[in-house]
Amino acid sequence: MNRLSQAHIKSLPADVALPTYDRAKLRAGIVHLGIGAFHRAHQAFYTEAVLNKLGGDWGIIGCSLRSASVRDQLAPQDGLYTLVERSGDGEKLQLMGAVLQNVVGPENPAELVAVMAQASIKIISMTVTEKGYCHDPATGNLNLHHPDIQHDVKNLDQPKSAIGFLVAALNARFNAGVKSFTVLSCDNLPNNGEVVEKVVVQFADAISKELAAWISANTCFPSTMIDRIVPATTDQDRQDVEACIGLRDEGVVVTEPFSQWVIEDKFSDGRPQWEKVGALLVDDVRVFEKIKLRLLNGAHSIMAYSGYLSGFDYISEVMNEPACVNMLKLYMAREAGETLSAPAGFDIEAYKQQLRDRFANKALKHRTWQIAMDGSQKLPQRLLDSLRVQLKGNGNISIICLGIAAWIRYVSGVDEKGNIIEVSDPLAIELRALCDANKGNSEATVRAIAGIQKVFGYDLINEEKFIATTIGWLEKFYAQGVLKTIQQEFKSS
Ligand code: CS2
């Protein structure tokens, strides 16, 4: 079987949509840090649409800050990959050409800094996950004790962290008199632009005051709300695409038909006309971010922990269990919904229904385990922000607490059948140790975990209603199992 590549484009079946621009003439204007499947299904998808419609020098150089796997998948394919949109109505295949080259940071950090420092690069976008910001979520400050940050401050020419790479490239531009770029955060964090600005400037300040001042005065850090469900690609997905296109594509990305991108419109040196292809360019993204983080991601995390423990591998299976759907509806209406106000013209009820339909998409194999990763970094913005609002107004917190109890049950590392759970979280060891030390005592477990200030701040440990409700759920989970508990509590809607 031939490998997908520029030379083989002509042999693709007619129903695969192809780039309509001349890839040979395309120049790079964007460097993307963290080129996983999400970027290739989202920001690269919008940029591809701009190139198809309007052209321009907005090709993408993809960077991996850890493994070489995406580069190894895409390099033999001239950067090409297939994007598959799947739903109950069938699937749509598109060949994506916007990614021109891939660089692996750890292989040659100085080379990546040089690529980012080129004047032709106008935007550095990033999807490095919540933990990639190396900040303390409770204060937003750069964690100067983080080993990668400590390394990067001392070795700015050989950075490891995304923040180190950004500051190194900005420093190179500052020294060479090259205009600054835009830093475009595309991670699921509230005010992601402000988050990255704060840590970049704090890092730069540790290098030189002049650099920090130049960055603040010359660099835009727009916030964004990004949305598209992108499960990790499986070997089955690659085989299915191979059967359709008659070529081997190691870089396949599978996603849903839906996508949304809301971007704060402030850029240091121009941008693709994403608004011409469906993105929303606005003055303030905060309201959109809040709605998405609390309704979509909050629901996702609750379903991930409770669903995994109930024996459901995929989100669509959770949506097959009527009690889980009832719980989800209530969470959206009460715990999350009551904390949100929609912008004018935004139909929030239709949005909630659309979310449930998206979650129920059986054609997407979205694993509960995938979403369960990094809970310690995700819960603050997904569940704890709403929790605080509800506690203040003496509102409903029951399902938020259920989600937190399910997370605590999950990070204990052993499932209901006694099997090991592969917990992937920067705090996994600490969490597991607290669960083990308080084994058999739900109250002590909840109090110990709620005392982790990096996650729960200083306040929540003193909120007895939150603590007691969470203990109540955890006791039930241990006594009778998660699924049975949900079935009992949420029998009817
Ligand atoms: C998910 C998100 O993995 C997760 O934590 O909740 O990746 C979610 O699929 C996206 O934010 C959807 O836009």
Q: Residues 32-57: pLDDT tens digits?
A: 999 999 999 999 999 999 999 999 99
Q: Please give the number of the atom of ligand 1 that sits closest to the Cα of 188.
A: 11
Tokens of 363: 């054609």
Tokens of 348: 């929030």
CA 229 to ligand 1 center in whole angstroms: 6
Asked whether 300 lines ligand 1 (CB < 6 A), one says: yes
d(CA 128, CA 124): 12
CA 132 to ligand 1 center in whole angstroms: 16
CA 397 to ligand 1 center in whole angstroms: 22
The whole-number pLDDT of residue 492 equals 77
Ordered by start, the domain boundaries in the chain are 6-282, 286-490
Q: Please give the number of the atom of ligand 1 that sits closest to the Cα of 228.
A: 13
- For ligand 1, atom 6: residue with the closest CA: 297
Asked whether 227 lines ligand 1 (CB < 6 A), one says: yes
The whole-number pLDDT of residue 137 equals 79
Q: What is the pLDDT of residues 282-339, one digit of tens each?
A: 999 999 999 999 999 999 999 999 999 999 999 999 999 999 999 999 999 999 999 9
| CATH T-level assignment (fold) for domain 6-282 | Rossmann fold (3.40.50)
The whole-number pLDDT of residue 493 equals 62
Could you tell me the CA-to-CA distances from 272 to 44, 48, 60, 278 in Å, in that order? 11, 10, 12, 12
- The DSSP 8-state label assigned to residue 382 in this structure reads I
- The amino acid at residue 194 is E
Span 136-143, average pLDDT? 87
Q: What percent of the chain has pLDDT over 90?
A: 98
CATH of domain 286-490: 1.10.1040.10
Span 376-386, average pLDDT? 96
Q: What is the pLDDT of residues 438-480, one digit of tens each?
A: 999 999 999 999 999 989 999 999 999 999 999 999 999 999 9
Asked whether 229 lines ligand 1 (CB < 6 A), one says: yes
CB-count exposure of residue 420 (10 Å: 0-12, 13-18, 19+): exposed
- Could you tell which of 296, 354, 366, 424 is best to mutate to test the pocket of ligand 1, judged by most ligand atoms within 8 Å of the CB? 296
- The amino acid at residue 245 is I
Could you tell me the CA-to-CA distances from 445 to 308, 448, 452, 481 in Å, in that order? 20, 5, 12, 17
Asked whether 41 lines ligand 1 (CB < 6 A), one says: no
The whole-number pLDDT of residue 485 equals 98
* SS percent in the chain: helix, strand, coil, step 5: 55, 15, 35
